[in-house]
Structure 1
Amino acid sequence: MFSQNKEYTRVLFFTAMVLCGCSQGEPSERDIFDAMVESGIANNGDPGTVKIGCKQDGEKAYRCDVRSRDRKGVLMPLRFVKKDAGWRISGE
């Protein structure tokens, strides 16, 4: 019984570590859309965004190519910076 609990604890710990590590990387499509809504580029009625790709551009910053789902031909290169309140678009 004790060894089963110990193994269960290890699995939970490993899973938590993996999930914590995921939040430290580039912004997700949802993060990007939320930042676009916050900045006024998009609104909540928009169908969302498609993240084409991101490249690191500083300690907590990424330059991402983003395409709006309703403007499939328009590619928007945007810079995102991780803040305490989430991802924000940066004009730098």
Structure 2
Amino acid sequence: MEISGIFTALIIGLVVGALGRLVLPGRQKIGFWLTLAVGIVAALLGTLVAAALGVADTGGVDWIELLLQVGFAAGGVALVDGIRSRRAISR
């Protein structure tokens, strides 16, 4: 992977992670780096699932792929926030 591909993945991961946080109600107490990591993983998972369903390569914007990515990001943010909250309570 070239440096431009890595940079693009970071930007897309950040956007997808931020969108995932926006669709969740309330405040999530996870930082910038965790949001970025969740967003990158969600973007990759969303792309893989969209490709498996055959909806990844359409003419124009791939709305179904984007919705899958944001859905995975919202689930990932909720999961990470829940795990971090439980750890803080048990301390």
Quick check: TM above 0.5?
Answer: no
Structure with more relative contact order (C-alpha pairs < 8 Å, separation 6 or more): 2
How high is the TM-score relative to the length of structure 1? 0.33
How high is the TM-score relative to the length of structure 2? 0.33
Q: In proportion to residue count, which structure has more helix?
A: 2
Larger radius of gyration: 1
Q: In proportion to residue count, which structure has more strand?
A: 1
